[in-house]
Amino acid sequence: MKKIFLLAGIAALFACNESSTQQEKKEEIKEDIKEAGQDIKSAASSTGDYLSEQKKQAEEAIQERIREIDKTTEELKKEGDEKSVAARKKLETLKAQMNKKLEDVKNSSADKWDSTRAAADQLMKKSDKEWTDFKQDFKDLFKKDE
């Protein structure tokens, strides 16, 4: 009877002990999980860097247009006639739109970036057309620039 209990105990002991292969597999899985976690962190960092760069480019483009508007507005203030006043009002409206979009770009989150960027791109295209139309409509005010 003692032999049976001894054999059962040894069998139980072997059953409970992990083999070296099982231990190696566990270690390998732990390493894979750790590596996957690092890859995820790296990808998140890269995505964040990409988003930051995209936002920076959009901000710079909008700010450049705002500077152009400000410069032209200052030039028009020197004129003082009715046409210059009308032109400045038109420019101020465009500038207000650009400032609002600039704030949207600055405050956009990663999950809203695609729609914010599309709206900013659309506004830039619209402002390009308006800027060209504006210069055409008020070309007599810009004759000295050409």
Three-class SS state of 21:
helix
The residue with tokens 């139309």 is 133
Contact 68, 131 (CB under 8 A): yes
Q: Which amino acid is at 127?
A: S
Positive or negative torsion for Cα 25, 31, 37, 40: negative
6-48 pLDDT tens trace: 555 565 555 555 556 666 776 777 676 767 666 666 665 666 6
Three-class SS state of 66:
helix
The CA distance from 125 to 121, in Å, is 6
Does the pTM exceed 0.75? no
81-100 pLDDT tens trace: 787 788 888 889 889 988 99
